[in-house]
Amino acid sequence: QVQLVESGGGLVKPGGSLRLSCAASGFTFSDYYMSWIRQAPGKGLECVSHISSSGSTINYADSVKGRFTIYRDNAKKSLYLQMNSLRAEDTAVYYCARSQWGSDFDYWGQGTLVTVSS
């Protein structure tokens, strides 16, 4: 069965860095786009970044451009999000999700909480 398991969340001070990981299993990881989608406390969903199956195409939301870097290791079936210069408004649960380009997110991880606070 398809599984996506995020890790790496935690408490970090403003200006700090954190790296999130998403371990995939149960499907051919290299066939799918992968995305990081976040949800601030009590708020809606925001796709912060997504990456094509080969890693050649990457997109970022304007809110994180220049601060976050998405990458993947298809051999390890893993997705990553390097988050630098973190701000209080980056506080959220971060989900990884799989999709095909232009399509739906059919599987989501359970999420990992990132809290940015002094």
Partner 1 sequence: QSVLTQPPSVSGAPGQRVTISCTGSSSNIGAGYDVHWYQQLPGTAPKLLMFGNSNRPSGVPDRFSGSKSGTSASLAITGLQAEDEADYYCQSYDGSLSGYVVFGGGTKLTVL
* Chain positions contacting partner 1, by CB under 8 A: 35, 37, 44-50, 59-62, 65, 95, 102-111
- Count of CB atoms within 10 A of residue 90's CB? 22
Q: Which of helix, strand or coil describes residue 81?
A: strand
In terms of CB distance, is 13 or 65 closer to partner 1?
65
Give the nearest distance from C-beta 72 to partner 1 in angstroms: 17
Beta strands 112-116; 10-12: pairing state: parallel
Single-letter amino acid code for the residue at 6: E
In terms of CB distance, is 80 or 109 closer to partner 1?
109
In terms of CB distance, is 80 or 95 closer to partner 1?
95
Residue 85's φ and ψ, nearest 5 degrees, are: 50, 50
Give the nearest distance from C-beta 102 to partner 1 in angstroms: 6
Give the nearest distance from C-beta 61 to partner 1 in angstroms: 4
Among candidate residues 74, 96, 99, the one with its CA nearest the CA of residue 6: 96
